[in-house]
A = this chain, B = another copy of it.
């Protein structure tokens, strides 16, 4: 089974030997994915990124290939919140050795900031944000504020 034969042609980002391929990301989400994974280039990881590339499944998509790193299931779960259509393949010696299940987690802790300014998580208190995940959005576990799916990227709290 081969990494991404078809996407090689269309994506301009070619195969990796070992690592993780995050494909079919919603267009424009690649940099959010890098931020979620804590990748800014300073750590020396070899990473290839395609943004807004043509796709068969989607009109346009993003793709991220991280070499020599295999994402854990919890990392995959968080990715699924910002891009539920993503496919995640673990690659060894150019072959897909594992397709990660994409499952939305029940709750997301410490990843998004609450848009409600009066929420206790915005009050300089030592309280980590926590959102309960629904099919089309998230609800702050502290103040009940709703974050719709299309608003999530704006509230990513990564540094």
Which residues of A are at the interface with B, using a C-beta cutoff of 8 A? 11-16, 27-31, 34, 39-42, 44-53, 60, 62, 65
Contact = CB atoms under 8 A, between A and B. Distances in A.
A66 to B, nearest CB: 10
- Give the oligomeric copy count: 2
A39 B49 CA distance: 13
A41 B25 CA distance: 12
8 contacts: A12-B48, A27-B44, A28-B41, A31-B41, A46-B52, A46-B53, A47-B50, A48-B53
B34 A31 contact: yes
Contacts of A30: 41
A125 to B, nearest CB: 25
